Amino acid sequence: MFTGIVTDVGEVRSVKPRADNLHRITISCAYPRAALVEGASIACSGVCMTVVGAGEEDNRRWFAVDAAAETLALTTVGRWRHGARVNLERALKMGDELGGHLVSGHVDGLANVVAREDMTEMSRVVLRAPASLARLISPKGSVALDGVSLTVNTVEDETFAVLIIPHTLKVTTLGTLRMGEEVNLEVDQMARYAARLLEKP
């Protein structure tokens, strides 16, 4: 589990195809080497991934993860290339501060940026969600965009808007969002379960 509070922005060092439609992705980061143990979970732009290797070169740490075919097809991971910037968050520990909202790292789909307005103190970004997910997004509810916990400002049909404060624009990849760009979207877990309970038996 995660909170949607990004603690580092990593950079993709390499993407190498492997057998069985797996891609081995290596990401540089600023996390302590001791924290990068095999089997650890790290949210990479909102996608929960398992560390399968790690090391350190030139005072820069790195870790490797494997992405399967479904992850490559349903998230932005399939488009990552050398130099891509990635929001990172290590898994939540019992007793940690829950600063955002509970995020599983299981991306529900992709949201498309349809508008961006840069204001004096923040940016307003409007996104279009897949129809199947739009019904799970509500004003004042929470979403995770590329792993960043955000509060929904307004909702209209399949589009929703979020306000992004200067700190978030500075310490995550959301500051570089452009029109037409797609981001990993995870809807609030409570909304997902509530919708499931309301389905006819």
- Of the chain, the end-to-end C-alpha distance in Å amounts to 29
Catalytic residues: 2, 41, 48, 50, 68, 106, 151
- Measured between alpha carbons, how far is 67 from 48 in angstroms, rounded to an integer? 10
pLDDT attached to residue 196: 67
Per-block mean pLDDT, blocks of 10 residues, the chain (201 long):
95 93 95 95 98 90 96 95 97 80 92 96 96 92 96 96 96 96 92 69 63
pTM: 0.92
pLDDT attached to residue 2: 94
DSSP H or E segment with residue 32: none
pLDDT attached to residue 197: 67
109-198: what CATH class? mainly beta
- Measured between alpha carbons, how far is 140 from 90 in angstroms, rounded to an integer? 26
Comma-separated ranges of CATH 2.40.30.20 domains in the chain: 8-90, 109-198
8-90: what CATH class? mainly beta
pLDDT attached to residue 100: 79
DSSP H or E segment with residue 37: none
133, 185 Cβ separation under 8 angstroms: yes
